[in-house]
Amino acid sequence: MMRTGVLLGAAAGACWGLVFLSPLVLSAFSALEIATGRFLVYGLVSLACLLPFVRTLPKRLTASDVLLLLLLGACGNVAFFILLAASIQKVGVAPASLIVGLVPVVVTVWGRHDQGAASLRQLAWPLALVFAGVACINLDALGSVSTSPKSLTDVIQGLLFACGALASWSLFAVLNARALKSLAGVSSQQWSYLTGLASGLWALVLACVVWGVGISPLEPQGDVLDKGVAGRDWQLFWLVSVGIGIGGSLLANAFWNGASRRLPLTLTGQVFVFEPLFALLYGFVYEARVPRAMEMVAIVLMILGVLWTIRKHAPRKASFTEAY
């Protein structure tokens, strides 16, 4: 079961990693607009997937479940992606993805008292490797930013947005994992659809604000501001929105929920490290370059940290399974 959970977590990371490219591909659009398009698609597809369960599923949900879904849709999807997209447009993929890559550390500390969790003493060295990896990539990224044409204000704003995304997704990871372990009448896939529906409702609110009222505080970057609306490719916008709405949301969340249901919370946090690693890989391909030495060291350290954490959980998980 644990191996399946890790593989599902890796599949989710591979899907989510593609999402990191969307703010670069859609640089003519603001972070709010990109989030609106993505989650409108996710909400509509989720609604279609929920239609076969429309008679029975509502009876299995309580009012607290509905409120939790709205919270998860806000913090884990809409708010997280707005902050992430804004950060990527300000400082690039590498700094944003690796600051968000601290999620394993935050979630591990947060979930250390949950059932099946390994102690912090057991995880000290694996976490140290992950920390070292994050430190290496951020030193490298910040060194690169210092030689780029980006202003100090952009850099500071981008890093703050990434920290906000880190906090938002950490909250989502903990609340979502605990909810999935306590829900008996709702499958992981159904929960993913419900979260998507909640995200779609928030996206409708965003659409009214961004396109109805015309308010978009997080503006697109670079010379696209000089091109105006005519320079924006709406066909590309909706094509990317469909791609990240289905692949980066519907499929990725279904994979992640499957992983969250099978893994202890401390290990779930560690498996999240696949997202920034895939984001880096896709970023290198998009930029047509190979990793720099410090980036390569960071990637190796983070992979070793995750594998070591899995090894720490394996005996504990086996004994828990045998007890039942």
Helix (H, G, I), strand (E, B) or coil at 30: coil
- Sequence letter at residue 217: P
d(CA 53, CA 59) in angstroms, rounded, equals: 10
pLDDT at residue number 90? 85
Residues in the chain with pLDDT values less than 50: 222-230, 315-324
d(CA 136, CA 138) in angstroms, rounded, equals: 6
Comparing C-alpha atoms, which of 283, 309, 314, 282 is closest to residue 107? 309
Number of H helices, E strands in the chain: 16, 0
pLDDT at residue number 315? 47
* Structure confidence by residue, pLDDT tens digits, 51-71: 999 888 888 888 999 999 999
- Residue 258's φ and ψ, nearest 5 degrees, are -65, -40
Largest CA distance in the chain: 65
pLDDT at residue number 15? 93
Burial class from Cβ neighbours inside 10 Å (0-12, 13-18, 19+) for residue 124 reads exposed
Please state, in angstroms and as integers, the Cα–Cα distance from residue 141 to each residue in 33, 99, 125, 137, following that order.
27, 11, 24, 6
Other residues' Cβ atoms within 10 Å of the Cβ of residue 112: 16
pLDDT at residue number 283? 85
* Structure confidence by residue, pLDDT tens digits, 83-99: 999 998 888 887 788 78
